[in-house]
């Protein structure tokens, strides 16, 4: 797939997404973000090549989510299964993600980390996906956030599966314009 790049005065992010097979390479300069993105890619069953640099962690985390979300929107086939629902336990944490790749962005959380809650919202908006995250249990923020990325990845894996038909009574929806 063609690279998706977001370059601003604050950040420079480039993502290439493809089917699983090639190892993902993640380099943002933020070790926890690298870990979450690598986890997300593995559980989603995709290969991600991501390079990112930026001035502040908030800007970088947000722009990585925007770029990955845009890449997922471009990668998803029109005949994808569309829906995914996964619940992940991780030590004290139990997190559910319910996902629809139907082109209507909506996010409902929250996660116990404002930066990674914002990542999920920015991803949802740019993937044009409905994402509901429910933290059912958990007190360790690391475990809750990581379980959320795993649940999102597995739900996305299910939603990206070839369904053989467009799963909408509207048929295939196309948006045309300069950014589409």
pTM of the model: 0.91
Contacts of 48 (CB under 8 A, 6+ apart): 15, 16, 17, 24, 25, 26, 37, 38, 40, 41, 68, 71
pLDDT value at residue 174: 56
Q: Of 68, 97, 73, 90, give the one whose Cα is nearest residue 158.
A: 97
Mean pLDDT score, 124-143: 98
Cα 144 to Cα 111: distance, rounded to the nearest angstrom: 7
Domain ranges of the chain: 4-160
What is the separation of C-alpha 47 from the centre of its chain, rounded to a whole number of angstroms? 13
pLDDT value at residue 163: 76
Cα 72 to Cα 45: distance, rounded to the nearest angstrom: 12
| Residue 100 Cα distances to 17, 32, 109, angstroms | 19, 26, 15
Mean pLDDT score, 119-130: 98
Percent above pLDDT 70 for the chain: 92
pLDDT tens digits for range 38-92:
999 999 999 999 999 999 999 999 999 999 999 999 999 989 999 999 999 999 9
Residue 164 pLDDT exceeds 70: no
pLDDT value at residue 171: 58
**Per CATH, is 4-160 categorized as 3.10.20.810?**
no
pLDDT value at residue 170: 54
């Amino acid at each position: 797939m063609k690279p998706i790049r977001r370059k601003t005065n604050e950040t420079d992010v480039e993502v290439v997404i493809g089917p699983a097979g090639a190892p993902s390479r993640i380099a943002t300069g933020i070790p926890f973000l690298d870990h979450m993105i690598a986890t997300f890619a593995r559980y989603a069953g995709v290969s991600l090549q991501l390079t990112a640099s930026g001035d502040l962690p908030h800007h970088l985390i947000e722009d990585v989510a925007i770029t990955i979300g845009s890449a997922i929107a471009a990668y998803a086939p029109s005949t994808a299964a569309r829906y995914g629902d996964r619940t992940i336990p991780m030590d004290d944490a139990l997190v559910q993600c319910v996902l629809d790749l139907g082109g209507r962005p909506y996010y409902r959380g929250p996660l116990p980390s404002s930066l990674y809650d914002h990542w999920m919202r920015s991803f949802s908006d740019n993937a044009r996906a409905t994402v509901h995250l429910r933290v059912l249990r958990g007190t360790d923020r690391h475990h809750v956030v990581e379980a959320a990325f795993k649940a999102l990845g597995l739900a996305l894996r299910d939603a990206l599966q070839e369904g053989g038909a467009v799963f909408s009574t509207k048929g295939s929806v196309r948006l045309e314009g300069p950014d589409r």
